[in-house]
Amino acid sequence: SPTIYRHDYQAPAFWIDTVDLTFDLDPAKTRVLNKMTLRRNPDVPAQPLRLDGEELNLARVLVNGQGTSFKLEGDQLVLENLPEGADPIALEIFTTCNPSKNTELMGLYTSEGGFFTQCEAQGFRRITYFLDRPDVMATYKVTLRAEKKAYPVLLSNGNLLEQGDLEDGRHFAVWHDPFRKPSYLFALVAAPLVAREQRIVSRGGKEHLLQVFVRPGDLDKTEHAMQALLQSIAWDEARFGLALDLERFMIVATSDFNAGAMENKGLNIFNTKYVLAKPSTATDDDYDGITSVIGHEYFHNWTGNRITCRDWFQLSLKEGLTVFRDQEFSEDLAGSPSARAVCRIGNVRGLRAVQFSEDSGPMAHPVRPDQYQEIANFYTATVYEKGAEVVRMYQTLVGRDGFRKGMDLYFQRHDGQAVTCDDFAQAMADANPDSALAAQLEVFKRWYSQAGTPVLHASGSYDAAAQTYTLTLRQSCPATPGQPAKQPFLIPVRMGLIGRDGQALPLQLQGDTGTPLLERVLVLHDTEASFTFADIPEAPVPSLLRQFSAPVWLELQGEDEAAQLHRLAHDSDAFNRWEAAQRLMMAQAVSAVQASEMPAQVLNASTLDALRAVLRNPALDAAFKQLVLTLPDELEIAEELDSVDPQRIKMVSEALCQQVAHALAEDWLSLYEAHENTGAYVPEPVSAGRRALANLALENLCRIARDSGDVVWPGKAYQRFKDASNMTDRMGALRALLEGQSVLAQPALERFHALFQDEALVLDKWFRLQATRNDLDGKVLGQVRALLQHKDFHLSNPNRVRSLITAFCHANPGAFHRADAAGYVFWADQVLALDGINAQIAARLARAMDHWKRLAEPYRSAAGEAIRRVAAKPDLSADVREVVSRALQ
Ligand code: DPP
Ligand code: ZN
């Protein structure tokens, strides 16, 4: 398929002002009547109208009520003889489509006896012929007709104008959305659903109806979603002055969905995973996920819908900004500084695990990509998570108030428009004319144009005679595909200096006369810069990149272990305390991987002492302790290496886990006893932290039991698994049995399945647990293959595929990368099988091989062979073709 380039952007030759759609919904043959008014764009030379369409049967085209000549060229409907001049043109197109055969889940499809849509990025063209691009914005009126008994609920965007019965048991509803929107925000639902409802009055005195639609049996799992929606509405008004602009705000859950959720105007459609929760079926992580995704989609109403993207290269304009907003929302809800830090650490771990890895592989691309073959492949961690880090850097540079001013100006200038990342950057700079951002805006904007993760090299030197400390910051950035050389980035470095007694030293830059601060943000906008601090009485330990103030790799030159231990013990920045522990452990894990002989112990005594001190520190929260004691995993270790031997990494990772289990045995015991009973389940950070720490302790106790042959702890874990009053504890105990290789693990898995066989989201957990379990016996692949045949496994359901196949290939490297290449054969088979069903899901799975060129032999050759086998399929989707051809380049 052709490559699309950002620089080729051209405004559309026509605008579409109004769209009047009528649907006669039928699973096998849905009729769609599309009546539009268009006008020529006077700024563009006259040319034929080219409408996008895919998998449509065209029955009729009328122009101003008359038949007309037209051509079908590839996927486009071309009209060459439209009237000249500026008058509006009435275009009427009648098509049919087959929703029940739509396994791609793009456009209009059926799921569990209902109709749903997904139009971002290019699904609307699978519903009707259209200018399916985000800069064409129209108002929509939608009439839905369907059998009443089968589809009692008929929904579309905006406000309900009218509804009623038709003959033959059918009924209808008419919806009107007063806001102009691009086609990717269109949605309809026709299904047997029920709603949890809530009426609210916003600050301005307007009444709104909030609805969460689910299948009838799921109503008892909607309370948390509604709560999250109410919190989102209140937060956006309070923090950004942005109010709900619709009479009605609807959320609909479906179990067949390619992504997490979709922000269709007034009618958000969600994966059930991000709506449904009750204590017996959802974990603390699930509850958090729901809060952030409900927030995310709601916040899109302003950042995405009211102001949208001019073209898909600008995707991060809405996604990076909206991820940043949902992260801030979750932090504000978490409340205490420590709970905020826990949120931040979680986000940074995700960023580094997925985005940094993406940035160092064949799919590396800038936050604002320059080219794509299939836009669906660019809903990536770079566009989303790195994009959010870029937005966070604006806030770090101009402060919270300055950021708010920038947002206000952005809305004042662009409300109702389709704009670019440059427009956002300009609003931020113009609202903060005296900032480092405004002074270096062009340098800052390189974050949008350059791919790759910069490396920040820091070195410090202390001058005892002058009582000064000089910090030198230097940056570099590795080459990425198509970008061999990089220009310097603007890197905000939030930092402090820690004295020998653990206290923060006042920071006075030489020549600066202001009041000394305990923390500052240094700005590096060149390849190298030095900063000298005056009146420093002793050699300090620097604490750099606090709160992870920029998405870079930090290298602290010449820093010894003592400095890391000092930060772990004393840093006032919780993020950097956690980071110090990670660095200590990672450095030793990497040495163990690289050593010619596997060392008896991975961690040294001083590191273990420091970890123990964290666990015993009464001033630290359980959630924070759990994060510090979460060891670097196999994927994180691999990311540090140029040549990756997955089995060697697995051995080291396993040795690391066993060592920490045994060395801290006493602490695991006392922590478990102190935290095992968390009381009645409430999804909030303090008790969630206690549950997480208890589960980690139990896992370690079962690991110890594995070596000693003890049966008491596995027995206790099984009991806890059986009696658990909430899913977090139940999953924790089950995982402990699996990690402990207990004979009770299998009966527990069977019991779990029997208990939850009617709960799809819990079954997903059951599949995932087995796909990602520790492969000490080498049997995981065989079991995953067997599970493909399980009656509850369906290749057409994305959640199920992700739980079993994608989880195995992406998240269980020790089981996937086998010396006999069987993992790669499995991967290729599954990519090819999925490609004919759902290309987006297939392409995501295909990316499990992103880093094959860094694998050691024999893995590398075998992986290459598997990728070439996939690439050889002649009718491969554009999605998978782009991924595998980039991997092979
Ligand atoms: N625009 C959607 C989201 O990220 C994509 N599924 O919220
Ligand atoms: Zn989004």
Which ligand 1 atom is nearest residue 293's CA? 7
Q: What region does 541 belong to: left with phi over 0, alpha with psi -120 to 50, or beta? A: beta
Whether 194 and 213 have beta carbons less than 8 Å apart is answered as yes
Average pLDDT of every residue of the chain: 98
User: For helices 223-240 and 315-334, what crossing angle results, to 10°?
Assistant: 100
Give CA–CA dist 270/765, Å, rounded. 18
| Average pLDDT, integer, range 251-260 | 98
Beta strands in 227-284 (DSSP E): 248-254, 261-262, 267-271
Separation CA 514–CA 314 (nearest Å): 40
CATH topology of domain 193-276+294-302: Zincin-like (3.30.2010)
Cα-to-centroid distance, 315 and ligand 2 (Å): 9
Question: How many Cα neighbours within 13 Å face the side chain of 19?
Answer: 30
Q: Where are the beta strands (DSSP E) in 215-266?
A: 248-254, 261-262
**DSSP character at residue 519:** S
Q: 612 phi and psi, to 5 degrees? A: -65, -40
Q: Which CATH class is domain 1-192?
A: mainly beta
Per residue in 804-823, pLDDT tens?
A: 999 999 999 999 999 999 99
- For residue range 545-591, what is the model confidence (pLDDT) as tens digits? 999 999 999 999 999 999 999 999 999 999 999 999 999 999 999 99
Query: Residue 68: phi, psi to the nearest 5?
Result: -150, 160
- Residue nearest ligand 1's atom 3 by CA: 262
- Tell whether the model's pLDDT for residue 43 goes beyond 80: yes
pLDDT of residue 882: 98
* Euclidean distance between CA atoms 645 and 593, whole angstroms: 9
Residues in contact with ligand 1 (CB, 6 Å cut-off): 120, 259, 261-263, 296-297, 319, 379
Kindly give, in sequence order, each residue whose CB lies less than 8 Å from that of residue 426, ignoring residues fewer than 6 positions away: 441
Q: In testing the pocket of ligand 1, which one of 297, 302, 841 has its CB within 8 Å of the most ligand atoms?
A: 297
110, pLDDT greater than 90: yes
Burial class (CB in 10 A: 0-12, 13-18, 19+), 464: exposed
Element (H, E) at 171: strand 170-181
Under a CB-based contact definition with an 8 Å cutoff, are residues 869 and 828 in contact? yes
Count of alpha carbons within 13 angstroms of residue 353, beta-carbon side = 12
The closest alpha carbon to 327, from 398, 235, 257, 397, belongs to 235
Q: What DSSP letter does each residue of 439-483 carry, written as one string? A: HTHHHHTHHHH--S--EEEEEEEEETTTTEEEEEEEEE---BTTB
Count other C-beta atoms under 10 Å from residue 528's C-beta: 12
Residue carrying the six token digits 């091989």: 849
723 membership: H or E segment, kind and range: helix 712-723
Give the pLDDT confidence of 13-42 residue by residue, as tens digits.
999 999 999 999 999 999 999 999 999 999
φ and ψ at 462, to 5 degrees?
-105, 135
Q: What is the pLDDT of residue 679?
A: 86
CA dist., res. 848 & res. 354, Å (int): 11
Burial of 30 (0-12, 13-18, 19+ CB in 10 A): buried
Give the pLDDT of residue 693: 98
pLDDT in tens, 417-461: 999 999 999 999 999 999 999 999 999 999 999 999 999 999 999
Element of type H or E holding 96: strand 89-97
Question: How far is Cα 870 from Cα 868, in angstroms, rounded to an integer?
Answer: 5
Give percent of the chain above pLDDT 70.
100
- Model confidence over 349-382: pLDDT tens digits? 999 999 999 999 999 999 999 999 999 999 999 9
CATH domain 312-449 topology: Neutral Protease; domain 2 (1.10.390)
Query: What number does the ligand 1 atom closest to the CA of 258 have?
Result: 6
Q: How far does residue 154's CA lie from ligand 1's centre (Å)? A: 23
The DSSP string of 780-840 is HHHHHHHHHTSTT--TT-HHHHIIIIIHHHHH-HHHHS-TTSHHHHHHHHHHHHHHTT-HH
What confidence score (pLDDT) does residue 200 get? Answer: 98
User: Which two tokens mark 526?
Assistant: 């060149």
What pTM does this model have?
0.99
**515 burial type by CB count under 10 A (0-12 exposed, 13-18 middle, 19+ buried):** exposed
Per residue in 846-871, pLDDT (tens digit) is 999 999 999 999 999 999 999 999 99
SS3 373: coil
* CATH topology match: 1-192 vs 455-559: yes
Tens-place pLDDT, residues 774-801: 999 999 999 999 999 999 999 999 999 9
Q: What separation in Å is there between the alpha carbon of 253 and the centre of ligand 1?
A: 14
Q: For the chain, how far is it from start to end, CA to CA, in angstroms?
A: 16
Q: Which of 124, 263, 303 to mutate to test the pocket of ligand 1 (most atoms within 8 A of CB)?
A: 263
Q: Tell me: pLDDT of 678 over 80.
A: no
Residue 319 alpha carbon, nearest atom of ligand 1: 4
CATH 1.20.1050.90 applies to domain 455-559? no
203: pLDDT strictly greater than 90: no
CB 58 within 8 A of CB 129: yes
729 membership: H or E segment, kind and range: helix 727-739
- Protein residue whose Cα sits closest to atom 7 of ligand 1: 262
Structural contact between residues 177 and 139, judged by C-beta atoms closer than 8 angstroms:
yes
**pLDDT tens-digit readout, 712-741:** 999 999 999 999 999 999 999 999 999 999
Ligand 1 atom at shortest distance from the alpha carbon of 384: 4
What are residue 662's phi and psi, to 5 degrees? Answer: -70, -45
pLDDT band at 204 (very low <50, low <70, confident <90, very high): confident
**CATH number for the domain whose boundaries are 757-889:** 1.25.50.10
Distance 542 CA to ligand 1 centre (A): 39
Kindly give the distance from the C-alpha atom of residue 300 to the centroid of ligand 2, in angstroms, as a whole number: 7
What does the domain layout of the chain look like in residue ranges? 1-192, 193-276+294-302, 312-449, 455-559, 757-889
Q: What tokens appear for 367 in the block?
A: 């936050």
Active site residues: 297
Q: Are 264 and 186 in contact (CB under 8 A)?
A: yes
Confidence of residue 202 (pLDDT cuts 50, 70, 90): confident
Ligand 2 centroid–CA 237 distance in Å is 19
pLDDT tens digits for 176-196? 999 999 999 999 999 999 999
Protein residue with least CA distance to atom 5, ligand 1: 262
